[in-house]
Each structure stands twice: as structure tokens, then as C-alpha cells.
Structure 1
Amino acid sequence: MKGFHVPGTDEEGGGLAAASPMSGLVKKIIAWISAVFLCVMMVLTVIDVVGRYIFNAPLAGATEMTELLLSAVIFIGLPAATLDRDHVTVDFLTDRLNGGIERIRVPAIALLSAAIMAVVAWRLWLMGDQIAGYGGVTVSLHLPVAPLAYLAGILTGLSACIMLAMAGYAARRGS
């Protein structure tokens, strides 16, 4: 298994990521935000475990915060994974296809992936509306959940746009 690869590009930086100088900055910002969230999750977990097993007093809401932060990290990383073409693919059949089929398959799969991501983004946004409508909050800390659904929808939509650009790039390159 390997990441999405636009044929005709090389591992040194071909493809959409190399075409946009902003993508490097965006990926660095995403990496820093994710690193901060992961460190916060680690500290929360350590405090919770120490409190639970040494002082018999777990950190209230640590599980909820960890769940929310993990969800945020996953969706924040989605556009970076899309830019890097790091989505999981299984290519046991496609490696055997000739170049003519590849020129059609690569942009078609990218276009289909963009459409699927767009539908997921739309459904996440609707879920956010539904959760906001009934005032959904976490159980112990009473944190609103709708903003996370909206964030997930926006970031999935951004990933869909990136994938759509990749489809256009692949179609223009003829591969």
C-alpha cells in the first residue's frame, strides 16, 4: 500500500504540493497545531492516570477532552494528508495497467474521491446543524459538540477541494 501518486511526478516534490508554495506553509501550520493538540492529550492522559491510580482522583473530563482533541487532530490532518497524497491505496491491480488507462484512471479516481469527500463534508455540516439545534454538549464538561462537527465539515470540504485540484492537475498532465 502507498499514498496517492500522480504519475509523472517524482518523490522529490512533484504534483500539486510542489505547484503551490503555500502548501508547505499550510502543512507546517497543520503539523504545529496537531503537535500541540497531541501534547495536550498526552499531558491530560498522564494527569488522569496519575490522579486515578496514585490519588484515587481521576481528572474530571479528561476522557471527553481527549476524544475531542483526537477528533480535531484527525480532521486537521486530513488536508495535509491530501496534499501529500498520503491516503491509503491498494494498487495490486493498477500497477499492471498500461499508460493509456492510467491517464484516465488517475484523474477519474481523484475526481471520485473529491466527490465522496464533498458528500462527507456536507453530511458533517448537517450533523453540526443537528447537534447545534438540540444544544448537544459533552456529558461532564458540557462543552458544545457542534463546533467540532463544523470544523470537521470545513476541513473535509477543504480536502475535497484539494483532491479536485489534484484531479485537474492529473488531467492536464495527461497522466
Structure 2
Amino acid sequence: MTKTIDTGVREGGTGASPAHHLTRSGIFLGSIGGVLLLAMMGLTVCDVIGRYLFNSPIKGASELTEILLCAVIFVGLGAVSLAEDHVTVDLLTEKMPLAVQPLRQAVTGVLSGAILVVISWRLWIYADQIGGYGGSTTNLSIPIAPLGYFCAICAFIGGVITAFLPLERFIKRLKQ
């Protein structure tokens, strides 16, 4: 973590830390992600032990790992959006005047949120297509469409959060 996040001072000097957004929903999403990650780790450990010590790997372990990884990423998207901990590159933005920073954050938040909503829309369409032909995993025959719908919903929620928080902060700053 950077010093600005540790001290609660956000980029642009607003002094508003996103930690207040990490209430029950952020803790809930983080907990789900942690449980999924723990399950993925346990599955991998058991598969490796079974494969190398007993010459009997877990059937479909790679498919389950892929599904769990996908779920961890998209559940984590909501938690990262709530904490506003997205990866950013500030080659040009750090040279901008402080007065412009809140507007820049609002604009980039809305654009990033819109992109996530478009990704969500396309994921939903893709999940419909997969569900239409009954797509499933090779070894365990797990249907893939529900995972696609889950990812679409998580991406949509992440997009709304990503757009809303910086925009809300900008509007509050305008009212001051």
C-alpha cells in the first residue's frame, strides 16, 4: 500500500479515504473471495499430493481451479471497487494541478465504470450463447453459462461502484 492510502489522504488532496465504504458489503465480498481462494488452494494441494504421492490426481481439478479462479477475480472486482484500489498509472496525472484532480477522478471513474458495464453486457450475451448450446466443462460436465452470468453480474456491480464513488465525491466537493 502506498503512503497516501495508509494515511487516509486520497489522490487529489481530498482527504476522504474510501475505507468508510468498506462496511459489511466489502467485508462480505472479501470473505467470499478468501473462502474461494482457500478452496482453490486446498484443491491444488490435494491434487498435487494425490498426483505425486499416490499417483492418483483429482479428476477435474484443473476445471474446478479455473472456475474458482474466475469466481475469485470477479468477486474481488466488487471489493476492489469499494476500496477504490484499482491499479492506476499516473505518468501524466501527477503533473496536473490539484484543482483538476477531483474532476479527473470523476471522469476516469465514470469511463472505467462504463467500460465494466459494457464488459458485463458482453459477458451476459456470451453466457446466453454458451447456455444455448449447453456448454459444459470437459471432464466434470459442469455447465459454464451460470459462471458467465455470475461474472456478468459481478462486472456490472463493479462498474456501478467504480463510476459512483468518484462521482459522488466530486458532487460533494462541488457543493462545498
TM range (shorter): 0.7 to 0.9
Aligned AA (1:43): G
- TM-score scaled to structure 2, two decimals? 0.86
> In the alignment, which residue of structure 1 is the partner of 2:12?
7
Per-residue Cα deviation, 1:122-159 (whole angstroms, up to 9, x for no partner) = 01111111110110100000001111111111011001
1:143 maps to 2:146: no
| 2:120 aligned with 1:121 | yes
| Contact residue 82 and residue 161 of structure 2 kept, 8 A | yes
Aligned partner of 2:50 in structure 1 is: 51
Larger RCO: 1 or 2 (CA < 8 Å, sep 6+): 1
Three-state SS of the structure 2 residue aligned to 1:57 is: coil
CA distance in 2, matches of 1:76, 1:127: 19
CA contact (8 A) 2:124 2:148 kept: yes
- Contact in 2 for aligned 1:76/1:155 (Cα 8 Å): yes
Q: Are 1:6 and 1:170, in contact at CA under 8 Å, matched by a contact in 2?
A: no
Deviations 1:80-129 (A, max 9, x none): 10111111101122111113432431211111111111101101111111
Q: Distance in 1 between matches of 2:122 and 2:61?
A: 28
Contact 1:37 1:73 in 2 (8 A): yes
2:25 paired residue number: 26
Distance 1:32 1:90 in 2: 28
Question: Which amino acid in the other structure matches residue 36 of structure 1?
Answer: V
Q: CA deviation at 1:6?
A: 5.5
Mapped contact 2:84–2:162 kept (Cα < 8 A): no
Assess if the C-alpha contact under 8 Å between 2:43 and 2:61 holds in 1. yes
Equivalence for 1:163: 162
CA RMSD of aligned residues (A): 2.1
TM-score (norm 1): 0.87
Equivalent residue, structure 2, for 1:110: 109
- Unaligned 5+ segments in structure 1 are none
Contact 1:37–1:69, Cα closer than 8 Å, also in 2: yes
Paired with 1:106 and 1:51, the residues of 2 have a C-alpha distance of 49
SS in 1 for 2:23: helix
| SS across alignment from 2:85 | coil
| Distance in 2 of aligned mates of 1:81 and 1:36 | 16
Q: Which secondary structure does the structure 1 equivalent of 2:89 belong to? A: coil
Q: Size of the alignment, in residue pairs?
A: 168
Letter in 2 for 1:134: Y
Structure 2 residue identity aligned to 1:14: S
Larger CA deviation: 86-95 vs 163-172: 163-172
